[in-house]
Chains A and B, each alone.
Chain A
Amino acid sequence: MLGSSSEERRRTDAEKALERSNAELDIRVHQRTRELNSAIADVRENELRFRTLIELAPFAIVVIDRAGHIRLASAAAYRMFGVDEGDLLERSVDDFLPEELGVKHIGDFDQDPEPRMLGLSRPLDAHRLDGTRIPVEIGLSPAYVDGQQMIVAFVSDISERRAAELLAAERAESLEQSNQELEQFAYVASHDLREPLRMISSYLGLLSRRYTGQLDDDADEFIHFAVDGAARMSGMIEDLLQYSRIGTQGGELHPTNSGEALSEVLRDLSMAIEEGEAQIEVGDMPWVMADSTQLRRLLSNLIGNALKYRGEAIPEISIHSEFKNSRWEFTISDNGIGIDPEFHDRIFRIFQRLHGRGEYSGSGLGLAVCRKIVERHGGQIWVESRPLGGSLFVFTLGEAQSQKEAAKEF
């Protein structure tokens, strides 16, 4: 029975092996089941996360198939379009979008299935089923859903932004209009005021010419003050006229060589420069977009001030430019008497003077003119104090679109 006994052992061995393998299989099945369950849980969790993401997104999410039918939509989409879930699904995008961006557009998108934005460059209105419009921006992205190529649309309602933009534009327009009216008023007023003022000055002049020395000393002084006042008023009216003309009679902005403008200004000021023995230092000057007459006026006023408000020392004035934050920044620094920081804003207002008439002449309009010119050019102007005394005036201008173009034009 040796054979049978060995047979027996072999069977027992086989049974044991089978048992073992069964147990291993069992363990593996268990393990797999656990893994599967965990995977399912993961998927559920992911789906839940995904759902939450979709439902909480500040924009509506709509999944569209290739025929332009809506296959999936987030709660925000129902709210935005004011429909029930059943009313939105299976509808065509043509029910909600302008024709050229609806089903027709899907073909375009297939040609070039890259994510893209609609409504950025041109305003885009979606419409509800009742015909009311919603200003929107739409992001489109290709996606695989249920094994099919589809398009996911992210739709943002931008009504509030559009309304704010509209309001801002309206405000800017009405501000522009009231500025123009004010300029017109300043122009007409100063123009018409010249006429009676001319009579006052001329006849005061006649009085003083004919009667000075013939009345008592008081009378001479009275006439003198009246003549002086009339002359000053006449100067102010002229200034006001010129100030109002910056806006009403300014030329268009062209590519302008600021270096050339500066040379001309320095030539015009050469007498004052020589008289004051001033030292002028000039850096590289760029091409900018400007009305050249006004640019010269701006430079002339600033450099003229630097010469006028000098201190004890020999005036040192430097003019430089630097390209900063995509604009040209010009600086004009001097070693003059400087300006108290307290007055840094005030000096740019019309008819503001910091000094008595006896100290420095001028009607206090120069810097107001500068500000108006710079603002008309879309730039900014300000003043800084220099640590060792003196002032640093800074103004910005836009760059000429292309230097080559500018060179061609002149």
Chain B
Amino acid sequence: MNLDSMDLLIIEDNPGDVVLAKEILSQVERPVSIRVAEDGETALSMLDEHLPNMVLLDLNLPRISGQDVLRAIRENPKSHAGPVIVFSTSDAERDVVAAYDGGANCYITKPVDLDRFFKVVRSIENFWLDVVRLPAS
């Protein structure tokens, strides 16, 4: 099988979530490259250096909120078309609406257990890498 590689930036301050995401992504069949930013400033400078083919964005971040990081990503012509998946604990309607208004491609509530996490990653992978055509590719 010839699979596109998965080049991911995870913007997440909780190390537990980072390890979990890495653990699950390590079982994905295609080549995966993961970079992690623990806060918004780091994330924006990393994005400036290298554009991944997907961003996984936590909302509750220190200093710059995920919402502001999202706005910065969309305002930057370099990154404004890339898929950003908001990945948050909150399922409050106002957070969901604000994320989509801010240009998120997808809003996913962090799965409450491992099995669901696997399913979520599998559908992210299938959809964004195999179904959707993006300008970059």
Contact = CB atoms under 8 A, between A and B. Distances in A.
A198 interface: yes
Among B23, B110, B114, B115, find the residue whose CB has the most chain A CB atoms closer than 10 A. B114
A202 interface: yes
Contacts of A206: 20, 23, 114
A191 B90 CA distance: 8
Given A202-B117, A206-B23, A194 B112 contact: yes
A205 B113 contact: yes
A195 interface: yes
A201 interface: yes
B89 A205 contact: no
Given A195-B89, A198-B89, A205 B114 contact: yes
Among A197, A203, A234, find the residue whose CB has the most chain B CB atoms closer than 10 A. A203
A199 B113 CA distance: 8
A186 to B, nearest CB: 15
Summarize A's interface: helix, strand, loop or mixed: helix
Contacts of A234: 112-113
B113 A202 contact: yes
Interface in B104-118: 110-115, 117
Contacts of B17: 199
Range, interface on chain B: 10 to 19
Among A195, A199, A202, A203, find the residue whose CB has the most chain B CB atoms closer than 10 A. A202
B16 interface: yes
Interface string B81-96: 0000000011000000
A198 B20 CA distance: 11
A201 B116 CA distance: 11
Nearest to B110: A198
B115 A205 contact: yes
A408 interface: no
Interface in A192-245: 194-195, 197-199, 201-203, 205-206, 209, 230-231, 234
Interface string A48-92: 000000000000000000000000000000000000000000000
Range, interface on chain A: 10 to 19
B113 A203 contact: no
A230 B20 CA distance: 17
A290 to B, nearest CB: 21
B114 A209 contact: yes
A206 B23 CA distance: 9
Contacts of A230: 113
B94 to A, nearest CB: 11
A197 B112 CA distance: 8
Among B23, B112, B117, find the residue whose CB has the most chain A CB atoms closer than 10 A. B112
Contacts of B111: 198, 202
Contacts of B23: 206
Contacts of A198: 89, 110-113
A191 B91 CA distance: 9
B113 A231 contact: yes
A230 B115 CA distance: 14
A59 to B, nearest CB: 57
Given A194-B89, A195-B89, A201 B20 contact: no
A201 B16 contact: no
Interface string B61-103: 0000000000000000000000000000110000000000000
A195 B90 CA distance: 9
Interface string B5-39: 00000000000110010010000000000000000
Contacts of B114: 201-202, 205-206, 209
B89 A202 contact: no
A203 B89 contact: no
A230 B114 CA distance: 12
Interface string A11-23: 0000000000000
21 contacts: A194-B89, A194-B112, A197-B112, A198-B89, A198-B111, A198-B113, A199-B16, A201-B112, A201-B113, A202-B16, A202-B112, A202-B113, A202-B114, A202-B117, A203-B16, A205-B115, A206-B20, A230-B113, A231-B113, A234-B112, A234-B113
Given A197-B112, A198-B112, 6 more contacts: A198-B89, A198-B113, A202-B111, A203-B16, A206-B23, A234-B112
The 6 A-B pairs with the shortest beta carbon distances in the complex, nearest first, are A205-B114, A201-B113, A199-B16, A202-B114, A234-B112, A195-B89
